[in-house]
Structure 1
Amino acid sequence: MQVGIDSFAAFHVDTKKSISSSERLQRLVEQIEYADQIGLDVFGVGEHHRRGFLDSAPAVILGAAAARTKHIRLTSAVTVLSAVDPVRIFQEFATLDLLSGGRAEMVVGRGSFIEAFPLFGLKLDDYDSLFSEKLELLLKIRENEHVNWSGKYRPALTGQGIYPRPLQNPLPIWIGVGGTPESFVRAGILGLPLMVAIIGGQTPSFKPLIDLYREAGKRAGHLPHNLNVGIHSLGYVAESTPEAVDDFFPGYVHSMNEIGKERGWSPITRRDFEAQLGPNGALLIGNPEEVTEKIIRYSQVLGGISRFTFMMNPASLPHEKLMRATELIGSRIAPALHKLD
C-alpha cells in the first residue's frame, strides 16, 4: 500500500495570526520535501477558489516541490476538471512530469465546493456533463499527440498537437469520487484508478460503492489488478492518542461547522467527533499503531486498498505539529503498510 499526505494549503483565520500567506506556502513545500526524505510515497495538493485556502494553482505548488524532491509522487487532490480546459491542465501536468523526472499524477473530480463555476462563467446545472465531456477530452489528449475532437463546452480540436508530452506514458490519471454511485461506475467502465474521499460517516459503508466500481470495471473488460482503489481520509498522528485528539478537535470542529453553515448541516459536537473515532468511523486520529491497525482493517473490509492519504488541514495545526505528524506517518505507519501483501 502506498502512503501519503494531501494538503489544501489551508490558511484559516487562526493560521493568519502567526504567519503570512507566503510563509504558509513555503512551509507547505518544506513539508513535501520532508515527506520525500522520510519515505512517503505520494503528496497531493488540492484545488480551491475560496477564502481560507492557497491552493488555487496546485501545479505551481507541485512544481516548486518537484525541484526539491527526488522520489515522492506529486499529484493533484483533486483537479476540478469541470472548471478547467483539459488541454491546459494536461500541459501543466505534463510539464510537472518532465520537471519531476516522471513523478506527476492527476486526481480529477467535479469538486465538493462550487465556487469555481461562477468564477469561470460556468453553469452549475452543467455540473456532471461538464466533467464527463472534459474527462473524455483529457483522456484523448493523454493517448494522442494530435487530437481530433468536438464537444459542447469548448472549441473543437482538428488535429492540433498538444505539447509537451509527459515522460510517463500514460500520465497517471485517477478519478476522485465522494458518494455518488454513478461516479464509481464511470471510473470502473473507464478502467481508471479510483480515489475515494471519506471525510465522515462509517468507512465500511463505502464497500458497496467500491464493489460497483470493481464490477463495472470487470464488465468493461479491465483486469482486476488494474482497478486500484485509494482512500483519502481526515487523519492525524501524534505520540499518544489523547494528544492527537486534543490537537485535532478544536480546529476540526470549527472548520466543519463553518462549512456546515453553508450546507445546512447541524453543528458538530464533541460527541459527534468521538463517534467518528470509533472502530468504523472515518477519522484516522491517534497514535501510529492504532491508526495503522485501523487502516489495515479498512483495507480488508473494502477488498484491498492500494493507496491511503492523510488530510490534516481541517485541524488548522501549526507547522511544527504537521511536520511531527509527517515524521510519524513516514517512519512508523508507512513501513508497516508497505509490508502488506
Structure 2
Amino acid sequence: MKIDVDKLRFGLDTFGDVAYNDTFHTKMSYRESLQNIIKEGQLADQLGLDVIALGEHHREEYSISSPEVVLGALASTTKNIHLSTGVTVLSSDDPVRLYERFATIDGISDGRAEIILGRGSFTESFPLFGYDLKDYNDLFVEKVGLFNDLITGEHVDWESKHVQKLVNVRPYPRIEGHKLPVSIGVGGTPESVLRTAYYGYSLMLAIIAGEASRFAPYIELYKKAAEDYGTKVGAIGVHSHGIITEDDDDEAYNIGWEYIRNSMDRVGLDRGWPKMTKERYDFEVIKGAYYVGSVETVAKRIAQTISELGLDRFDLVYGTGGQLEKDRMRTIELYATKVIPRVKEILQEANENE
C-alpha cells in the first residue's frame, strides 16, 4: 500500500509511569516524576515530534491522574508539538468541565490541543468519582454525545439519564478558529469503531498485544461505517509500546523484559491475565506489539505496521514500567532523530518500487 509519507504524524505517549533514578536505581517521587515528564515533553518538542499524549490513571505506579494540568504546563513551555491525552476516561469525567479544560489548553498553546477519548481500560476512576461500573457503556455513550455537541454547537440543550440537564448552555472559554481534534481510543471492540465513525472522529488503535495486522478489519469497518453514516474518515493511528537503542537489539530486549513484563504482570493481576512468559515476550518483540530494539529494527517494524494498515499516525508508548530516566530520554531522542527519518525512507523506497 502506498503511503503519503509527507502527511504522516509521529507521536509519543506516556501513561505517566514513575521513572527510576539513573544513579541509585530507585523510583522517583511523584514530584520528580511529573517534573521529569515535563522535561521529556520539552525534548520531544525540540526534536520536532508531532504529538505528545498523556494517559490518565489513578493507580500507584503512575504519576499522571490529571493530564490536562501537565498539558497546561507543556503548553507554556513548548512551541510546536501538539498536546493530547491518551486517553481521557470520559465515562468518569464531566463533559462540560472537560471541554472547558481543553479550551483553556487550546488557548494557551495557540491551537495545539487535541484529545483522545476512551471508556477506560482501567476502571479505578469510576468508584473514585462516584460512578457505578454497571453503567460503564451507557455513561460513555451519553457523555460522548454531549461532548460532541459542546465542540460542534454554539449553544447546547441536553437531557439524558446519567448526565446533567443543560438548557441553552454555551461553555467558556470558546475554542476559536478551529474545532478541537478528537480521536477515540479503541482497544478492539467493533462498537467503539462504529461510534468513532458515527461522529467523524479520528481512530486511534491501542495495540498492546498481538500482531498489528489483526486490526485491519477494524479499519475497514471504520471506513465502511463512515461511508454509511455520511461522515468524514479521520486520521487512523496506532499506539504501541517501544524501547529504542542505537544498535544493540539485546540491550533494548533486556530493558523491555525487565520493565514492560513487570508492568504487564502487574496490570494482569487485576484482569486475570497469566504472567508473561519468555515465549510470549519474544513473540511480541519479533512480530507483535512491542517495538523494541535497535534503530534499524524498530524502524523496519514501524514501517511495516504503517504500510500494512495504511496508517496516518504512529505513537510510541515510551517509559513503560518506569525504566531508568536515561533510557527513556534515549528512546525519545533516537525515535525522533533516527527512527522516524528511517521509517520515512523505507516507506518512500517502497512507494517507488510499487
Q: TM-score, normalised by structure 1?
A: 0.94
User: Structure 1 CA distance, aligned partners of 2:273 and 2:234?
Assistant: 34
Instruction: Note if 1:243 corresponds to 2:265.
Output: no
User: Structure 1 CA distance, aligned partners of 2:324 and 2:33?
Assistant: 10
Residue number in structure 2 paired with 1:92: 101
- State the SS of the aligned residue for 1:159: strand
Residue number in structure 2 paired with 1:274: 282
Is the CA contact (8 Å cut-off) linking 2:83 and 2:113 kept in structure 1? yes
User: Structure 1 CA distance, aligned partners of 2:50 and 2:19?
Assistant: 27
Residue number in structure 2 paired with 1:288: 295
Residue number in structure 2 paired with 1:214: 223
Instruction: Note if 1:327 corresponds to 2:333.
Output: yes
Residue number in structure 1 paired with 2:11: 4
Question: How far 1:210 sits from its partner (Å)?
Answer: 1.6
Written as runs of structure 1 = structure 2, the 5 A alignment for 1:180-219 is 180-219=189-228
Is the CA contact (8 Å cut-off) linking 2:13 and 2:316 kept in structure 1? yes
User: Structure 1 CA distance, aligned partners of 2:288 and 2:169?
Assistant: 49
User: Structure 1 CA distance, aligned partners of 2:27 and 2:307?
Assistant: 42
Residue number in structure 2 paired with 1:233: 240
Is the CA contact (8 Å cut-off) linking 2:15 and 2:320 kept in structure 1? no
User: Structure 2 CA distance, aligned partners of 1:47 and 1:311?
Assistant: 14
User: Structure 2 CA distance, aligned partners of 1:186 and 1:93?
Assistant: 21
Cα pair distance change 1:332/1:168, threshold 3 Å: farther
User: Structure 1 CA distance, aligned partners of 2:153 and 2:199?
Assistant: 17
Structure 2 residue corresponding to 1:17, chosen from 23, 26, 32: 26
User: Structure 2 CA distance, aligned partners of 1:84 and 1:222?
Assistant: 26
Question: How far 1:167 sits from its partner (Å)?
Answer: 3.5
Residue number in structure 1 paired with 2:137: 128
Question: How far 1:18 sits from its partner (Å)?
Answer: 4.2
- State the SS of the aligned residue for 1:169: coil
Is the CA contact (8 Å cut-off) linking 2:21 and 2:324 kept in structure 1? no
Residue by residue over 1:14-72, the C-alpha shift from the partner in whole angstroms, topping out at 9 and shown as x without a partner, is 99924221111111000000000011110000001121111110000011111110000
Instruction: Note if 1:164 corresponds to 2:159.
Output: no
Question: How far 1:295 sits from its partner (Å)?
Answer: 1.4
Identity %: 39
The number of equivalent residue pairs is: 337
User: Structure 2 CA distance, aligned partners of 1:34 and 1:214?
Assistant: 35
- State the SS of the aligned residue for 1:284: strand
Is the CA contact (8 Å cut-off) linking 1:2 and 1:338 kept in structure 2? no
User: Structure 2 CA distance, aligned partners of 1:126 and 1:75?
Assistant: 26
Q: Using the TM superposition, name which of 10-19 and 211-220 deviates more.
A: 10-19
Structure 2 residue corresponding to 1:83, chosen from 89, 92, 107: 92
Residue by residue over 1:187-240, the C-alpha shift from the partner in whole angstroms, topping out at 9 and shown as x without a partner, is 1122210011000112111111121111111111234xx332110101111112
In structure 1, the gaps of 5 or more residues are none
Residue by residue over 1:48-107, the C-alpha shift from the partner in whole angstroms, topping out at 9 and shown as x without a partner, is 112111111000001111111000000000000000110000100110001111100000
Question: How far 1:12 sits from its partner (Å)?
Answer: 7.2
Is the CA contact (8 Å cut-off) linking 1:145 and 1:163 kept in structure 2? no
Is the CA contact (8 Å cut-off) linking 2:19 and 2:33 kept in structure 1? no
User: Structure 2 CA distance, aligned partners of 1:48 and 1:137?
Assistant: 23
User: Structure 2 CA distance, aligned partners of 1:301 and 1:259?
Assistant: 29
Instruction: Note if 1:300 corresponds to 2:307.
Output: yes
User: Structure 2 CA distance, aligned partners of 1:264 and 1:144?
Assistant: 43
Residue number in structure 1 paired with 2:186: 177
Residue number in structure 2 paired with 1:311: 317
- State the SS of the aligned residue for 1:207: helix
Residue number in structure 2 paired with 1:30: 39
Instruction: Compute the RMSD of aligned alpha carbons.
Output: 1.7
Counterpart amino acid of residue 306 in structure 1: D
User: Structure 1 CA distance, aligned partners of 2:176 and 2:192?
Assistant: 29
In structure 2, the gaps of 5 or more residues are 1-7, 349-354
